Amino acid sequence: MALKVLLSQKTNRHVIKKLNASYVYESSFGTWQTAKSDTTGLNFPIGIAKDASNNIYVCDSNNKRIIKLNSSLTYVSQLDVSTTIGKPYSITFDTVTNDLYVVGLFKDFYLSVARITSALVVSKSFNNIYSPATGVEKPYGICKGIVADTFIISLGRKLVIFTETASSTLVGQTTTSESFTATHEEAIDSQSKYNLINKSIVPSTFTVWRTCTESPLEESPTSFQTLHFPVIGTPDVDFKVYKNGVQLDYDVALNDPNDYIINQATGDITLQTGVVTGDEVKIWYKFEMINNVDYALDLFSGLLSLSIGVSENILGLITYRDIFNITYTYATNATVQTLTGITDAVITGIIKHSNNDIYVVQNTLLESAKISRINSSYVNIGDSNKISKYAIGITEALDGSLIVYDSSNQKIVRYSNVLNFVETIYTDTSDLVATDAYEVAGLLEANI
C-alpha cells in the first residue's frame, strides 16, 4: 500500500482522480468531461469515502446512486438511492460499525440520511430529518459527532446533529398534529394558509381533518340523545365524533359512556350519555389531499395553502368557522446547532479530527474562505487565514494535517491542525485544460 490522494471533480470533468504519494496525477475513474449514467460515468460526483478493505465509495449525486470502486478505481457495483436518499451529497465510513453513512436531499429539499453496508445494502434510512429554509442549502459534509452515536451534517449556515437509534428508520420519529382555524376576515372561498416551515414535514405524510370550531347544543337532556349530522363513510376512519373535547367510540352495543352509533341512511348519531345545554359536539371530517390539486406547499416560505379554502357553511352547520387539523411525522432526535463565532458563512466541508475537534470550511458573504476549528461546545476556537475567495472539501491527512481544495485557484493546500498554512501540494493544471471551469468537492488521503 502507498499513500494516495483521491478527489472528486463535480463540474465539467465528472471524474474521480487519484494522485500518488508525490501528489502527481496517476489515474481516474469516469468519462472525462462527460456526465453519464452507466458504469463508466458519473454526473456531479461529490462525497467520497473508503472502507477498511480500501474500496472507494462515491456520491454520484445527479445519478442518485452510490458507486463502489476498488482501490485501482475500477467499477465494482452501484446502489440506487433515489427512493431512500434522493441526491447523495456526502459520505463517511464508520470504523466502529464498518458501515457507511450517507446524507443527501430527498426530492431536492428534505435532508435525508442512510446507513449502508459495504455490500451496498441500505440497512437504515430516514428521508426527512430537516426541511431546509432555502434551496441553496446543501449537505456538503457528514462526520461522526462529538457524543457517541451522533452524527453531524453541515447544511448551509448550520449544523444538523442527529442520534442514531435502534429502529430501522435510523433517526427517531414521532407523529403529531396541529390545528389552525380560519380568521374572521377570510372570505368563504379564500385559501387557508398555514406556516409549516422547518417542521420536517413531507407532504405525503399529511392527514387533514376539517370541522367547525364549535357547535353548542340547545337540547334538553335525555339518556340517549340523537343528533342529526350529515356523515358519510366509515366511523373513526372517515369521520370522528367528539363531545366536549373527548373522542367518542363507535360501538353499536352502546355499552360504554363514551359510545355512539350512527344511522348511515339518515345521518343520525345517537350518544350513549346524551347531551345537556352547553355541551359541544364536533364531527371531524377527513379530507383527502392530493398535491397540486387540494393543497400546495411552498418549500421556501413554508406556507401550506388548502384549495378547499374556508367556509362559513359546512355540511349544514351554519355560522361556524372551519377548523383544520394536520397530522404529520417528524424527526425527534435531530437538532439544529448554532455555531458560536461563525456568522453569515456557508459551510462547504466538515470533518471530525483525530484530536476530537471539528473542522469546517466556511465561505463568508465577503468572498473569504477559511478553516474554523470547533470545540465540543460548538464554539469557534480558531480560524485560518483567508484561503481564497472560495474553498470546498476538507479531509484529515495521514499525518494529522488538513487538506482543503482552494476552488478559486484550482489547487489543493495543506494546513496544520492549529490552522497554519503549510504548503500547496497540488495545482490542477498538468492533467486538465486550465481554461475549463471545474470544481473539486470531495477529498480523501489514505494508504491504499
Domain identity same for 433 and 316? no
pLDDT, tens digit, for every residue of 280-301? Answer: 777 776 655 555 455 665 554 5
- CB-based contact 376:356 (threshold 8 Å): yes
Residue where one domain finishes, among candidates 297, 330, 363: 330
Name the pairing type of β-strands 110-116 and 15-19. unpaired
Domain identity same for 244 and 151? no
- By mean pLDDT, which of 101-115, 204-218, 422-436 is the weakest? 204-218
- By mean pLDDT, which of 15-24, 88-97, 256-265 is the weakest? 256-265
- Please list, in sequence order, all residues whose beta carbon lies within 8 angstroms of the beta carbon of residue 411, skipping any fewer than 6 positions away: 405, 424, 426, 427, 428
Q: How far is CA 352 from the centre of its chain?
A: 21
Q: Mean pLDDT, to the nearest integer, of 108-127?
A: 89
- By mean pLDDT, which of 220-234, 240-254, 355-369 is the weakest? 220-234
Q: In which band, very low, low, confident or very high, does the pLDDT at 56 lie, cut at 50, 70 and 90? A: very high
Name the pairing type of β-strands 150-155 and 158-163. antiparallel
C-alpha grid cell, residue 19: 494522485
- CB-based contact 272:260 (threshold 8 Å): yes
What is the pTM (predicted TM-score) of this model? 0.73
Q: Which domain holds residue 306?
A: 175-330
- CA–CA distance, 284 with 247 (Å, rounded to integer): 10
| DSSP state, residue 437 | -
Give the residue with greater pLDDT, 316 vs 396.
Answer: 396
Domain identity same for 188 and 277? yes
Q: Is 126 left (phi over 0), alpha (psi -120 to 50) or beta?
A: beta
pLDDT, tens digit, for every residue of 175-190? Answer: 666 665 544 333 333 4
Domain identity same for 53 and 190? no
Collapsing DSSP states into helix, strand and coil, what is residue 203? helix
Q: Please count the structural domains in the chain.
A: 2
Domain identity same for 345 and 291? no
Q: Mean pLDDT, to the nearest integer, of 235-263?
A: 78
Alpha-carbon torsion (96, 102, 103, 107), positive or negative: negative
Q: DSSP per residue over 42-77, as a string?
A: -SSEEEEEE-TT--EEEEEGGGTEEEEE-TT--EEE
pLDDT of residue 221: 45
Q: What percent of the chain has pLDDT over 90?
A: 28
pLDDT of residue 216: 44
Domain identity same for 141 and 23? yes
Count CB neighbours of 181 within 10 A: 14
Domain identity same for 281 and 370? no
- Please list, in sequence order, all residues whose beta carbon lies within 8 angstroms of the beta carbon of residue 440, skipping any fewer than 6 positions away: 7, 8, 9, 10, 392, 393, 405, 407, 412, 428
Domain identity same for 231 and 191? yes
Q: Mean pLDDT, to the nearest integer, of 249-254?
A: 78
Domain identity same for 43 and 153? yes
- CB-based contact 111:301 (threshold 8 Å): no
Residue where one domain finishes, among candidates 280, 301, 330: 330
Domain identity same for 38 and 142? yes
Nearest of 246, 336, 324 to residue 289 by alpha carbon: 324
Q: What is the mean pLDDT of the chain?
A: 76
Domain identity same for 146 and 195? no
Residue where one domain finishes, among candidates 330, 345, 361: 330
Q: Is the pLDDT at 69 greater than 50, yes or no?
A: yes
- CA–CA distance, 437 with 427 (Å, rounded to integer): 14
CATH of the domain at 81: 2.130.10.10
Give the residue with greater pLDDT, 348 vs 182.
Answer: 348
CB-side neighbour CA atoms (13 Å) of 281: 22
Q: Mean pLDDT, to the nearest integer, of 14-29?
A: 87
Give the residue with greater pLDDT, 431 vs 34.
Answer: 34
Domain identity same for 187 and 266? yes
Q: DSSP per residue over 245-279, as a string?
A: TEEPEE-TT--STTEEEEETTTTEEEESS---TT-
- Please list, in sequence order, all residues whose beta carbon lies within 8 angstroms of the beta carbon of residue 236, skipping any fewer than 6 positions away: 249, 250
Count CB neighbours of 109 within 10 A: 18
- By mean pLDDT, which of 164-173, 204-213, 271-280, 428-437 is the weakest? 428-437
Long-range CB contacts (within 8 A, 24+) of 286-290: 286/207, 286/208, 286/209, 286/233, 286/237, 286/238, 286/239, 287/208, 287/209, 287/210, 287/324, 288/208, 289/206, 289/208
pLDDT, tens digit, for every residue of 118-158? Answer: 999 999 888 777 766 455 678 999 999 988 889 999 988 78
Q: DSSP per residue over 363-431, as a string?
A: EETTS-EEEEEE-TTSBEEEEPPP-BS-EEEEEE-TTS-EEEEETTTTEEEEE-TT--EEEEEEETTSS
